[in-house]
Each structure stands twice: as C-alpha cells, then as structure tokens.
Amino acid sequence: MRRWLWIAAVLILIVAGDAALWRFATRRLEAGLNDWIAAQRAAGWQLSAEDQRTGGWPFAAALYLHHVTADHGPPFAGGGIAWQSDRVILRIAALRPTTLQIDASGAGRVRVAGTPDVPYSASQFVVAVPLKATRQPASAAIVAVALTAGQPGRAVTIHDVSSHVRVAPEAIAGESAVSISLNASGIALPGTGWPLGHQIASLATDAVLGGPLPAKGGLNERAVTWRDDGGVLHVNALRVVWGALHLRAEAELQLDADLQPAGSGSATMVGYTATANALAARGVMTQGAATAAKALLSLMAHTPADGGPSEVEVPLSLQHRTLSMRQVPLVRLPALDWPAD
C-alpha cells in the first residue's frame, strides 16, 4: 500500500511540475508575443488579433489568436504588404522548447505591392522558427498541405509543399542573402491550355540569392540597386516532372537593363521529343523551332548505363526574354512586370 502511495505522490509531483512549467512557458510566450508586436509596430507594421487565449497543456504552451491581421504601408515592397488569417496558433512544444511553431492552417488572404488580395486556404500551414533572444529568426521551415491560392477559377492547388528559408540581411556582395529549398508535389494549374498539361507532378529547387539586399525603396528601385550591385540568383538545382518532361537544371541569373531575368545554365532532359511536340502544338514554339530542337537533341542524346529512357544534357541561355538552346530559340517568356514605386 505504501508503495502505491509513493507512486501516486511521484505522479502528482510530475503533473504539478509540468503544470507549473506550462504556466511559466505560456507567460513567457505571451510576454514575448507582446514584445514582438511592439517592435514590429515601431517598425511600421499594424498588427491586431482577437480572442487571445492560452492552451496546449500538458504537451505544449500555446496561444490561440483569431482574426489576425498584419499590414505594412507603401514604404515596404513598393505598395505595402498585408496578411490576414482567420486563426493562428503560436505553440512551443515541451520537447522542442527552442522552436516556435506558427500554425496558420485554414483560410487567409495576402496582398503584396498594391496587387489584388490573393485568398488562400490549407488543411495544414505551419511555419517553424528558432527562438533567439538577441535578434529576429534568420530561418524558417514551412510545411503546407492541400494549399489553394488564388481567385476562384484561377487558383493554384498544391497537394503538399515543404520549404526552408534562411535570410542574412547583412550579407555583402558574394555572400548568400537569401537561400531557399523547396519541394512540392501535385501542383494543379488553373484553367486549361497548358502545353504540358495542367498538372505538375513534382517541383523541387535549391536556390541562393546573392547579397547585398537593398534596404530602402520600392520593389522597382530595390531591383535596380540589386542589379547594379552585381546581384546574382544561383539556381543550384531545379527538378521538374511535368507531363512527358523530366528536367534537371542549374543556372545563374541576373537582371538585364529592362529588369528582366537573363543568364545561362544547363539542363538534362528526358521526354524531349514529346515535350517539343506539345509546345509546338500549343503555339509556344514554332514548328520549325520544334523540328530543329528535336533534331539537335537526338544527335546529343544518350542512353544511361542503367538502361533508362534516353536523355540529353544541353546548355541553355536566357536573353531578352528568349530561352535558347545552342543558339536555337525555344520559348519567348512573358515580361516580368514590376510594380511602380
């Protein structure tokens, strides 16, 4: 009997200790949130939330917020940025006390640089950021499931996507200012008429944006400054499975005099014949360009040692919005329209 009393006493102490730790963590979370909100408001953000309450015991300290809004005026991004979410949960798990989880699953809206609001919804949308006492988080891990973004009839749907972003605002020329890795699958494009089909099976990329990042001005002005300072986007890896096309590529891109992407790279392609035929059938490239591309690719193609489908590795260049392969123009890209400052 005495043994069971000891066990009961130990269990009571564990529960009481966990409850005390939860109260402490919850108060720290609330205080940290209030400090963060004050700092962001001082930087020009307008933040608001309704119905703040605590929860999560015994496995986490959590704050539940409803009707969350964040808005920054025209000085940022050449027209402002605004975000709204029906519900946000801030959570620190007991087993991961140095990581803050921001759960914005559900519905929301985002607006950038004066463009129309873009509604979105997701069955899961979680951002994890490290907690650091001295400065804002420099990295974030993002996971979304069943993500839909865009106006009805023009929305993009993604089955699942995961991404990791690291930002170093103090980066100088030649250093990484922003690095991003992304993996997405089941990307359904809006409407019809896509040359390779409306479904992209998978997309993955690993890219680095070279510094320095301009700190002032609108998007257009910042783009000009970044270009003039020698800014480069390094696409270390890009993998796409879209219809018949299986693509692996890498590239280095800059902005030209018209603020359009320009640069060079290389790509390894499988399914190039069917892809060229599909692009020509949709008018993306001329029949003559498709015939020339298929003839050249056939001469360069080889069969892998493992006996897989024929593949070809080719150099690519992007100049004046035209993507070319060995001096053969392939696709004319739409202009990148920068918002007015």
288-335 per-position pLDDT tens digit: 888 888 888 888 888 877 777 888 998 999 999 998 887 778 788 888
**What phi and psi values does residue 13 have, to the nearest 5 degrees?**
-65, -40
Domain locations in the chain as residue ranges = 2-255
Mark the ranges of the chain whose per-residue pLDDT is less than 50: 4-18, 75-78
Residues in the chain: 341
Give the pLDDT confidence score for residue 295 in this predicted structure.
Answer: 86
- Measured CA to CA in angstroms, residue 321 lies from 193, 264, 293, 328, 338 at distances of 21, 12, 18, 14, 15
Give the pLDDT confidence score for residue 11 in this predicted structure.
Answer: 44
* Helical (H) or strand (E) element with 90: strand 81-93
Give the pLDDT confidence score for residue 3 in this predicted structure.
Answer: 53
Number of Cβ within 10 Å of residue 124's Cβ equals 14
CB 231 within 8 A of CB 255: yes
What one-character DSSP code corresponds to residue 304?
A: -
Q: What is the pTM of this model?
A: 0.77
What number of CA atoms fall less than 13 Å from residue 29's CA on the CB side?
A: 29
Q: Which long-range contacts (CB under 8 A, 24 or more apart) does 330-338 make?
A: 330/279, 330/285, 330/289, 330/293, 331/279, 331/284, 331/285, 333/261, 335/260, 336/259, 336/260, 336/261, 338/219, 338/220, 338/223, 338/259
For the segment 5-33, what is each residue's pLDDT rounded down to a tens digit? 444 444 444 444 445 555 666 666 666 55
Instruction: Give the span between the Cα atoms of 127 and 163, in whole angstroms.
Output: 9
Q: Is the N-terminal amide bond of 75 cis, ω within 30° of 0? A: no
282: alpha, beta or left, given left = phi > 0 and alpha = psi -120 to 50? alpha
